[in-house]
Every structure is written in structure tokens, then in C-alpha cells.
Amino acid sequence: MQNMRTKVGCLITGAAGFVGSHLAECLLAMNFQVVGIDNFFSGRRDNMRSFADSRDFYFYEASITERNLMRKLKRWHPELRYCFHLAAVVSVPYSVEHEDETMGINLTATQALVKESRELDFTAFVFAGSAAEYGRDPRLPLKEDYATAATRHTSPYGRSKFLASRDVAQSPNGIALRCFNIYGPRQDPASPYSGVVSRFLAAALAGQSLTILGDGQQTRDFIYVSDVVDAYLHAAGLNRRPASPLNGVYNVGTGEAVSILTLARTTLQLTNGSEAPAFLPERPGDIRHSLADIEQFKAVSGWSPKVSLPLGLRKTLEWFGRHTPPEC
């Protein structure tokens, strides 16, 4: 049992982000000390509202590119033993326009952090990889070993995540989770990298028609944010006794393909929407199908996704109902 003096510390980079804030909330509820950093490039202070005043939460506005960042934080918080590295350039279009910056943040800074984590004896360094690491590989479901140095990535974002995941996995304390299409409360429908779920829900709640880009037959593997948080805990071994972190690269999704048309229909049913969706041309460079093979991660960690799409959409909708969605 942990007591006040010996709480184990977890560092979360990107703690003010969509997923990072859910992870922080969960770790605090599990009685860990949480040290969060964020530079608010895409994170929002408001995402941390529910736990910002917790006495076990320490927040620093900082960039992950800062030299010796972990060393400094470990000096201030000697309890730190786990790092969840989620801070990144997350916008694909932004990564195309700012390739060097994306590589510097998503790859070089990650390499420096994982190295520091090893030197500082961190038990686990868990990295937020991405389905974008597979480029447009047509072999479905996507298995971890399909992404290789020969993969043609569709953006600097995908390339940077692939290279960083590979380096993280080579570290004895490193685990990279390639998350597919995450959705849930706090995903901002107004940001340029908003996912289709938050855009659909915000539009439906505003009584506007949903916009389907292309014919709507394209499919994605949508995973609810609490299942992703649970995957991070499993990766670090924090919900096993004794804690035994994994090592390597693993997919995190549901293993189920859902078409954008089905998503639109389900959204309209849940919101009692009657506006017919509007069809616009396909997004340039859009991937047709994306689906995770999650067997490896399930086998090594015992994790499995729990939240069905209708349930996850209902929970997200409830949250949207309580928070006026920004204009999108």
C-alpha cells in the first residue's frame, strides 16, 4: 500500500491534452503522485480543471525540448519512476508545413527523454505512437511489424512517430502504443486536427448537418479514451501486482472497423438529429481504411477494450451537453 510519503510518481508530458488529462485524472484517482508538463501549444488549461487542485498534482508549463528536463523534474520530485510521453505536434497538416519543427519535437525530443529516463532509472517510459506509423498500408488488420523503415509515410507526423516508437521500443524500459482513432470527452471539435467524432457530435448538437467527406464508406477503428488510458496503465504494468512493464511496440484499437456513414447514422440516432448529412469531396490524402490488429497487446498485457462505440458516443455526448462546444 502506498502512503503519503512513498507515493510513486508519474510524469505526464502533454498533461493538458485530450488524452494526457484523462490519464492524469486516472493516476491521481489511483493514488499516484502526478507531475504534468505542457506548453499549451495544443493542450488546454481547462482540460485539467477537475484535478488541477489535487495535492498530488504538480504542473509545470514547459516544452519537452528543454534540455535536461527530466533530470530537473526528478530532482524536484525524486518519487518519479514512470513517464508517459504524450506531448507532440499532433496536427498532420501542421507537420506538413513545419517538418523540421515536427521532427525536433516528435523525434529528437523523444529520443532525448527516453535516454534520460534510462539514465535516471525510470521503470517505464510509455510513448504515444500513432496509427499514422503505418502510412497507407492496405494489409488489414494492421499488425505491428507492418510498419518498417521502408514504409512510405503520408506526413512528417507519421514518419516522426514511427521513428520515435522504434527508438523507444529499443530502450529496455520503453513501450510505444500505436493508438488508432481516439475519441471522447475533451476532444476539441474546433481545432484543426479534430477527429470526426467530435465534429459530428458538435454539429449534431448545434442542429447543423454532419459533413461527410467522400462517400462515407471509408472505415476507421474508433477507440474510447478510457480504454486508451487503461492501455497506458497496462503497458506500464501499473494495474498488475507486482508491476511489470512491457517492452516493445503495440497497437491499441478495438479491432473493429466502422464506416463514417455508420458513425453518422449512430450520431444522428443518439442526438435525435434529422438533418441529412452533407456530402463534400474526399479529403486530399485521406486513407481509405484503417484497422488495428490488437491481438499482441491483448496477449502480453491482458488488456482489452471495454467501451462499445454507442456507449462511448453517449458518454461523449453527455460531456458535450455539459460543455458548450466551441464553434466548429
Concatenate the DSSP letters of all residues of 184-249 into one string. Answer: -TT--TTSTT--HHHHHHHHHHTTPPPEEESSS--EE-EEEHHHHHHHHHHHHTTTSSS-----EE
Q: How far is the CB of 222 from ligand UD1 (least distance, A)?
A: 9
Give the 3-state secondary structure of residue 123.
coil
Return the number of the residue (280 or 311) whose C-beta is nearest ligand UD1.
280
Return the number of the residue (70 or 294) whose C-beta is nearest ligand UD1.
294
Return the number of the residue (9 or 216) whose C-beta is nearest ligand UD1.
216
Is omega for the bond preceding 326 within 30 degrees of 0, making it cis? no
Q: How far is the CB of 275 from ligand UD1 (least distance, A)?
A: 14
Which residue is listed with cell 534540455? Answer: 67
211: phi then psi, degrees, rounded to nearest 5: -105, 120
DSSP conformation class of 271: H
Kindly determine how many residues on this chain lie close enough to bind ligand UD1 according to the rule CB under 6 A.
23
Residue 75: partners with Cβ closer than 8 Å, 6 or more residues away: none
Query: Taking CB under 6 A as the criterion, which residues in 256-275 touch ligand UD1?
Result: 260
Return the number of the residue (136 or 298) whose C-beta is nearest ligand UD1.
136
Residue 248 forms beta bridges with which residues?
175
The length of the chain, given as a count of residues = 328
- Residue 106 in contact with ligand UD1, rule: CB under 6 A: no
- Residue 181 in contact with ligand UD1, rule: CB under 6 A: yes
- Residue 286 in contact with ligand UD1, rule: CB under 6 A: yes
**Which of these ranges, 32-40, 192-200, 251-259, 318-326, lies near ligand UD1 under the rule CB under 6 A?**
192-200
Told to judge if 250 belongs to the known catalytic residues of this protein, a careful annotator would answer: no
Q: How far is the CB of 187 from ligand UD1 (least distance, A)?
A: 8
CA 61 centroid distance within chain: 20
Residue 227: partners with Cβ closer than 8 Å, 6 or more residues away: 252, 254, 305, 306, 307
- Residue 132 in contact with ligand UD1, rule: CB under 6 A: yes
- Residue 186 in contact with ligand UD1, rule: CB under 6 A: no
Q: Which of 123, 193, 226, 289 binds ligand UD1 (CB under 6 A)?
A: 193
- Residue 212 in contact with ligand UD1, rule: CB under 6 A: yes
Q: Which of 156, 185, 195, 325 binds ligand UD1 (CB under 6 A)?
A: 195
CA atoms of 71 and 281, how far apart (whole Å): 49
Residues of this chain that bind ligand UD1 (CB under 6 A) = 92, 130-132, 157-158, 181, 193-196, 199, 211-214, 218, 220, 260, 283, 286-287, 290
Could you list the active site residues?
Answer: 157
